[in-house]
Amino acid sequence: MNSLNNHFLTEPATRPADPCPEPASPGIGIRTAVRRFPRALFSAPLTLRGLAPGGIRTSRGISLDISEGGLGALVQGALRVGETVEIDLPLPGHVLNAVAIVRHTSTMRSGFEFLGLTPEERAEITNAVGGS
């Protein structure tokens, strides 16, 4: 099972589906998915860095929601689905520095899946949003 399938499981028989709008191709409906981790509203400024022709591109944005698996954000500049970025996100007490892949993007918001977070980093995210 690849990392995408580890994060988004499509219509499992054991749990109800949580609608997760993603860009749809013409003639294809919105895909429903179940998120592996619950999301929480979390608004904080963030910095993204990614490779661009001629060097590293730095963008700023603001998070909208977060989970142990990723985050949604409003970000300046164009992103590409599948692009790998580095995200600096302030959490209470320190800044989380995470590598993430762009899973969806539009003019309204972008979604990122965290890659390779340690158990401690996952716990920091859960604690930051009031999880148990």
Structure confidence by residue, pLDDT tens digits, 94-109: 999 999 999 999 988 9
Nearest CA to 94 among 119, 71, 127? 127
Same domain, yes or no, for 4 and 69? no
Same domain, yes or no, for 120 and 57? yes
Question: Around 95, how many Cα atoms within 13 Å sit in the side-chain half-sphere?
Answer: 9
Same domain, yes or no, for 21 and 44? no
Q: State the Cα–Cα distance between residues 63 and 45, nearest whole angstrom.
A: 6
Same domain, yes or no, for 85 and 27? no
Query: Could you give the number of structural domains in the chain?
Result: 2
Same domain, yes or no, for 3 and 56? no
Contact between 49 and 34 (Cβ < 8 Å): no
* Domain range enclosing 10: 1-36
**pLDDT single digits (tens) 55-70:** 999 999 999 999 999 9
Is residue 98 classed as helix, strand or coil in its secondary structure? strand
- pTM over cut 0.95: no
